[in-house]
Amino acid sequence: MATPQPALEAERRESEMLELRLEFRRLFRNLNRMKGRDTHLGGKELSNAQVELLSELYERGALPAGELAVAAGLTPGTVTQMLDHLAACGHVERDRSEQDRRVVLSRLTPQGRRRIQAKKREWQGRWEEALQDVDDADLRAAARVLSRLGDMVESKAPPACARPDEGAPAGPPQVLDG
């Protein structure tokens, strides 16, 4: 007896979803490994988190540490330490706001701007090389899928204070294999 068409379609979709979950998990692990390598960087190299902060300043202009912390998903204390280091290296300068003297704004220096522009060019080249044979329709589809996955992860995030034994994942997002 032949397998009904809807059953074949469901089986094909399940297989495609499994492949997507496995590739998403592989990407997530690679991103975590990349972040882990940041701890072994030399003093002149920028960490991934530092690049994120500099990118926010490059794209949005001068910002207070609190806004940078929210944008980067880091604590204000961590961002302040990072800004101290970036200022000492000459990438960032900090000044009091003209509108509210209680607020300290961080902005890129010309050196910081050049550094982030070089980093962006480097990554643009890597993206173009990796995706050179992917057509525009597939790129748009990939962007839609990643957007939906980002929304799904964000909307289903467990409470920050939940313990692993209360259903919160102890590590990376739960990406089940089947």
> Edge-to-edge strands of the sheet including 92-96?
63-64, 104-108, 92-96
pTM score of the predicted model = 0.67
The answer to whether residue 145 sits within a structural domain is yes
**How many domains is the chain built from?**
2
**119-141: pLDDT as tens digits:** 999 999 999 999 999 999 999 99
Whether residues 35 and 105 share a domain: the answer is: no
Whether residues 97 and 137 share a domain: the answer is: yes
Q: How far is residue 6's CA from residue 163's CA, in Å, rounded to a whole number? A: 41
The answer to whether residue 167 sits within a structural domain is no
Q: What is the CATH number of the domain that holds 135?
A: 1.10.10.10
Whether residues 22 and 97 share a domain: the answer is: no
The answer to whether residue 59 sits within a structural domain is yes
Cα 47 → chain centroid: 13
Q: How far is residue 25's CA from residue 172's CA, in Å, rounded to a whole number? A: 9
Whether residues 99 and 60 share a domain: the answer is: yes
Grouping H, G, I as helix, E, B as strand and the rest as coil, residue 105 is strand
The answer to whether residue 7 sits within a structural domain is no
**56-81: pLDDT as tens digits:** 999 999 999 999 999 888 899 999 99
**8-24: pLDDT as tens digits:** 899 999 999 999 999 99
The residue with greater pLDDT, 100 or 61, is 61
CB atoms within 10 A of CB 119: 16
pLDDT of residue 150 exceeding 60, the answer is: yes
Whether residues 109 and 122 share a domain: the answer is: yes
Q: How far is residue 51's CA from residue 152's CA, in Å, rounded to a whole number? A: 26
> Is the Cα torsion angle 82, 60, 116, 147 positive or negative in sign?
positive
The answer to whether residue 109 sits within a structural domain is yes
Residue 5 confidence (pLDDT)? 83
For residue 22, give its domain range.
12-41
Whether residues 17 and 76 share a domain: the answer is: no
Whether residues 21 and 84 share a domain: the answer is: no
Residue 48 confidence (pLDDT)? 84
The answer to whether residue 172 sits within a structural domain is no
Give the DSSP per-residue string, 75-107. Answer: -HHHHHHHHHHHHHTTSEEEEE-SS-TT-EEEE
Whether residues 96 and 37 share a domain: the answer is: no
The answer to whether residue 158 sits within a structural domain is no
